Amino acid sequence: MAGVWWRDGVVYQVYPRSFSDANGDGIGDLAGLTARLGHIAGLGCDALWLTPFQTSPQRDHGYDVSDYRGVDPIFGDLADFDALLARAHELGLRVIIDIVPNHCSSDHPIFQKALAGDESARERFHFSATPNNWPSVFGGSAWEPVGDGTWYLHLYAPSQPDWNWRDPRTAPFFDEVIRFWFDRGVDGLRVDVAHGLYKAPGLPSLPDGVTPEPGRLRGNPLVCDQPETPGVFRRWREIADGYDPPRVLIGEVNLEPGRAARFVGPDRLHQAFAFGFLVAPWSAGAWRAAGEQVLRHPPVTWVVENHDVVRTPTRYGSEARARAALLVVLGLPGAAYVYQGQEYGLPEVDVPEEARQDPAWERSGMSRDGCRVPLPWSGGFSAGPGCESAESGPPWLPVPEGWDRYLESPTLPLCRDAIALRRLLQAEGVLSADDPVVWSVDGDDRLTARRPGFALVVAMGAGPVAVPDGEVLISSGPLAPDGRLPADTAAWVREDVR
Ligand code: BGC
273 lines ligand 1 (CB under 6 A): no
**One-letter amino acid for residue 352 of the chain:** P
Mean pLDDT over all residues of the chain?
A: 95
Q: CA separation (Å) from 77 to 72, 180, 202, 315?
A: 7, 15, 40, 36
Q: What percent of the chain has pLDDT over 70?
A: 98
Q: 26 pLDDT band (50/70/90 cuts)? A: very high
CA of 307, closest atom in ligand 1 = 9
CA–CA dist 12, 165 (Å, integer): 31
Q: Helix count (H) and strand count (E) of the chain?
A: 15, 18
CA of 217, closest atom in ligand 1 = 7
In the chain, where are the structural domains located?
Answer: 5-103+168-427, 109-153, 438-494
Most informative mutation of 191, 192, 253 for ligand 1 (most atoms within 8 A of CB): 192
111 lines ligand 1 (CB under 6 A): no
pLDDT of residue 33: 97
β-bridge mates for residue 141, sequence order: 135
Q: 498 pLDDT band (50/70/90 cuts)? A: very low
**Topology (CATH) of 438-494:** Immunoglobulin-like (2.60.40)
465 CA distance to ligand 1 centroid (A)? 39
Q: Lowest-pLDDT range, 54-68, 101-115, 173-187, 210-224?
A: 210-224
156 CA distance to ligand 1 centroid (A)? 8
Does pLDDT of 412 surpass 50?
yes
Active-site residue among 252, 305, 435, 488?
A: 252
CA–CA dist 424, 429 (Å, integer): 9
CA–CA dist 334, 312 (Å, integer): 20
pLDDT of residue 393: 83
- For residue 299, is the peptide bond before it cis, meaning its omega torsion is within 30 degrees of 0? yes
CA of 368, closest atom in ligand 1 = 9
Question: Quick check: is 388 catalytic?
Answer: no
pLDDT of residue 364: 87
pLDDT of residue 209: 84
482 CA distance to ligand 1 centroid (A)? 47
CATH superfamily of 5-103+168-427: Glycosidases (3.20.20.80)
Most informative mutation of 64, 96, 156, 255 for ligand 1 (most atoms within 8 A of CB): 156
CA–CA dist 134, 139 (Å, integer): 10
Question: Quick check: is 252 catalytic?
Answer: yes
Nearest CA to ligand 1 atom 12: 63
Nearest CA to ligand 1 atom 4: 63
pLDDT of residue 216: 85
pLDDT of residue 229: 98
Task: Please write the tens of the pLDDT for every residue from 138-152.
Answer: 999 999 999 999 999
Does pLDDT of 248 surpass 60?
yes
Q: If you average pLDDT over residues 149-170, what whole number do you get?
A: 98
Most informative mutation of 63, 105, 162 for ligand 1 (most atoms within 8 A of CB): 63
252 lines ligand 1 (CB under 6 A): yes
β-bridge mates for residue 96, sequence order: 49, 188
Task: Please write the tens of the pLDDT for every residue from 307-336.
Answer: 999 999 999 999 999 999 999 999 999 999
pLDDT of residue 241: 98
- The answer, as to whether pTM is greater than 0.95, is yes
Task: Please write the tens of the pLDDT for every residue from 255-307.
Answer: 988 899 999 999 999 999 988 999 999 999 999 999 999 999 989 899 999 99
Q: 211 pLDDT band (50/70/90 cuts)? A: confident
SS3 content of the chain, % helix, strand, coil (to 5): 30, 15, 55
Nearest CA to ligand 1 atom 2: 308
CA–CA dist 84, 445 (Å, integer): 45
Active-site residue among 80, 192, 225, 358?
A: 192
CA–CA dist 114, 364 (Å, integer): 28
Q: Is 157 exposed, middle or buried (0-12, 13-18, 19+ CB in 10 A)?
A: buried
CA–CA dist 492, 471 (Å, integer): 8
Does pLDDT of 31 surpass 90?
yes
